[in-house]
Chains A and B, each alone.
Chain A
Amino acid sequence: GEDVEQSLFLSVREGDSSVINCTYTDSSSTYLYWYKQEPGAGLQLLTYIFSNMDMKQDQRLTVLLNKKDKHLSLRIADTQTGDSAIYFCAVDYEKLTFGTGTRLTIIP
């Protein structure tokens, strides 16, 4: 089945850019997503990219997709304290498969 991998932790200084990485195994995925989860809350859809795209930009968020390497990344520009959360990569083939999540910590 599909396997999605993420690093568990990332610490970034306030105002810097954060880059969260994700690798996946199934190249048949049509959509790839980034979700944000704050403590005790559900999942908030941040952005997504269709598999025939290389890049998508949405305000402070930039998604890069390298299909050859099966690598997806999320860049958050000008990281703020409100960006502290767990970020999940998810790939959609017949069902959504999530990574284990990356906990982003902002250093003041």
Chain B
Amino acid sequence: ETGVTQSPTHLIKTRGQQVTLRCSSQSGHNTVSWYQQALGQGPQFIFQYYREEENGRGNFPPRFSGLQFPNYSSELNVNALELDDSALYLCASSLETGGVKDTQYFGPGTRLTVL
């Protein structure tokens, strides 16, 4: 059983650029959630995808968008990057069955630095 993987590990961008982060779910999981963890803070929920559709969103602007693919892998896209977008971006996968959500398992994260 493979765990959650994320790529890239680190990324440096400049203000105004766009970025795409990738996540592969743990085998057998159908739900992916994305979190932003600023330095010294706890993770903040961005959004969740279930069966390729957004299934809940946190307090993040529309320039944060995502996709989930048929194999349940996922992308997080951030447009018009701002300095405050610098953070560790965490992906978590879980299994939802009959409306019941199981425990979320986290990947190692992508460290994004915006200059």
Interface residues of A (CB under 8 A from B): 4, 31, 33, 35, 40-45, 48, 88, 90, 92, 94-101
Q: Please tell me if the beta carbons of B42 and A101 are within 8 angstroms of each other in the complex.
A: yes
Most buried by B among A88, A92, A98: A98
The reply to whether A95 and B56 form a contact with Cβ atoms under 8 Å apart is yes
What's the least CB distance linking A12 to chain B, in Å?
21
Q: B41 contacts A96, CB within 8 Å? A: no
- Name the distance in Å between A107's Cβ and chain B's nearest Cβ: 22
Measured CB to CB, the residues of B under 8 A from A are 4, 6, 33, 35, 40-45, 48, 56, 58, 90, 92, 101, 103-109, 111
Please name the residue on chain B nearest to A94 by beta carbon: B56
- Within the complex, the shortest CB–CB distance from A89 to chain B, in Å, comes to 9
Write the nearest CB–CB distance from B31 to chain A, whole angstroms.
Answer: 11
Question: Is the CB–CB distance between B58 and A95 below 8 Å?
Answer: yes
- Across the interface, do B42 and A42 meet the contact criterion of CB distance under 8 Å? no
Contact of A97 among B41, B45, B105 (CB under 8 A): B45
Q: Shortest CB–CB separation between residue B91 and chain A, in angstroms?
A: 9
In the complex, chain B residues whose CB is within 8 Å of the CB of A41: 108-109
A96 touches B45 (CB 8 A): yes
Q: Check if A43 sits within 8 Å of B103, measured CB to CB.
A: no
A residues near B44, Cβ cutoff 8 Å: 98
Q: A88-B42, A96-B45, A97-B45 are in contact. Are A43 and B106 (CB under 8 A)?
A: yes
CB of B34 to closest CB in A, whole Å: 11
Question: B103 touching A31 by the CB < 8 A rule?
Answer: yes
B109 to chain A minimum Cβ distance, whole angstroms, is 5
Contacts of A45 in B (CB 8 A): 103-106
Kindly report which residue of chain B lies nearest to residue A99, judged by CB atoms.
B42
Contact A44–B106 (Cβ < 8 Å): yes
Q: Are A42 and B41 in contact (CB under 8 A)?
A: no
